[in-house]
Amino acid sequence: MSFFKKIFSQEKKETLDKGLEKSKTTFFDKLGKAVAGKAKVDEDVLDDLEEVLVSSDVGVATTIKIIDRIEERVARDKYLGTTELNQILREEIAGLMSEVNHGDATEFTLPKVDGPYVIMVVGVNGVGKTTTIGKLAYQFKKAGKKVVLGAGDTFRAAAVDQLDIWAQRVGVEIVKQAMGSDPASVAFDTLQSAVAQNADVVLLDTAGRLHNKVNLMNELSKVKRVMQKIVPDAPHDVMLVLDGSTGQNAFEQAKQFTNTTEVTSLAVTKLDGTAKGGVVIGISDQFQIPVRYIGVGEGVEDLQVFNKVEFVDSFFRQ
């Protein structure tokens, strides 16, 4: 099928394949048991398939959409063999993801804006937020961009220290203040510094707390307002980082943050070593937010630009 032509380099593709190996193996083990001894896609097979998708962390709402699409094909084509189920699933999931992830990016590129492109990174503690910022800084610098980091999570000394280590490791500037400082003040200083240096991109870390949604919402709103004094249309992207290995908990985090602030993109980390890779499909569909990056390994090169064609191809390749 021409839709699934190879886009990534062989090295990137191998990393993606390896990162999704556990998710894929678990999924096809379940799928194989669901269709064992059955030749035709019927109501029983669809019931079993529904269970496979839900247990693979695709999510209930997205699973229902996929089953409905397959039921339409069964009704239209009259007979569908279980041997065709892999390809059918592949096509329907790719189609579903196309509705949200319109872009087919393969490299770390950014839209052109007047001034630095500002990415405000949000997410709860422990999801890999700071590491994702560090890896993005590395990739953007590698692409020839001038990068400035903002240590806006001033409530955890470890977050500032970790981001500082990344800044030194990558060789980019970091703007930070004392522990407990006002995050909006850090944001203001970061953008001021970025504009003065004619930087291309700003990556701003934020506090990863969800225990008080009202305070979090007020804090993020204040950070946005202060940034706009320097760069009127900032932030250009509010990126929510989610830990893919947490499965359904990632759905809950996405729900909390999308209720709190306007999230415009997703980065899903820690997909390697987990059987919960289906969460990428469900979260993207359920919240109608594009997945921009995925983490498929611990290495600095293992944060990849999300490409739906390559993701679906790797997930369904046997």
Average pLDDT over residues 4-9: 57
Pick the residue with more confidence: 79 or 38?
A: 38
Distance from chain centroid for Cα 92:
20
pLDDT at position 2, please?
38
4, pLDDT greater than 80: no
pLDDT confidence tier of residue 5, bands split at 50, 70 and 90: very low
Write b or e for each residue in 194-229: b if 16 or more Cβ atoms lie within 10 A of its Cβ, otherwise e. beeeebbbbbbbbbbeeeeeeebeebbeebbebbee
| pLDDT at residue number 7 | 60
Higher pLDDT, 143 or 218: 143
pLDDT at position 297 is 87
User: Which are the contacts of 186, defined by CB distance < 8 A and separation ≥ 6?
Assistant: 150, 151, 152, 154, 175, 176, 177, 204
**Residue predicted with more confidence, 55 or 189:** 189
pLDDT at 286 over 80: yes
Q: Name the least confident of 65-74, 179-188, 248-257, 309-318.
A: 309-318
User: Is the predicted pLDDT of residue 67 greater than 50, yes or no?
Assistant: yes
- The percentage of residues in the chain with a pLDDT greater than 70, rounded to a whole number, is 94
Please give the pLDDT value at position 1.
38
C-alpha distances in Å from residue 219, one per residue of 74, 119, 224, 226: 50, 16, 9, 11
Give backbone dihedrals phi and psi of 145, rounded to 5 degrees, phi first: -100, 150
Residue 186 is predicted with a pLDDT of 97
pLDDT for the residue 213: 65
Distances (CA, A) of 83 to 33, 52, 122, 174, 216: 13, 16, 42, 54, 50
User: Residue 36 above 90 pLDDT?
Assistant: no
Q: Give the tens place of pLDDT for each residue, 41-64.
A: 888 889 999 999 998 899 999 999
Q: What is the pLDDT of residues 93-152, one digit of tens each?
A: 888 888 887 656 678 989 999 999 999 999 988 899 999 999 999 999 999 999 999 999
Distance, CA of 207 to CA of 17 (rounded, Å): 33
pLDDT computed for residue 80 by the predictor: 76
Instruction: Give the distance, in angstroms, between the CA of residue 255 and the centroid of all CA atoms in the same chain.
Output: 14
Q: Which pLDDT belongs to residue 6?
A: 52
3-class secondary structure, 2: helix
Other Cβ atoms within 10 Å of 188 Cβ, number: 18
Percent over 90 (pLDDT), the chain? 49
Closest to 12 (Cα-Cα) out of 108, 144, 119: 108
What is the tens place of the pLDDT at every residue in 225-277?
A: 999 999 999 999 999 999 999 988 899 889 888 888 899 999 999 998 788 88
pLDDT at site 87:
86
Q: How confident is the model at residue 210 (pLDDT cuts 50, 70, 90)?
A: low
pLDDT in tens, 154-177: 988 889 999 999 999 999 999 999
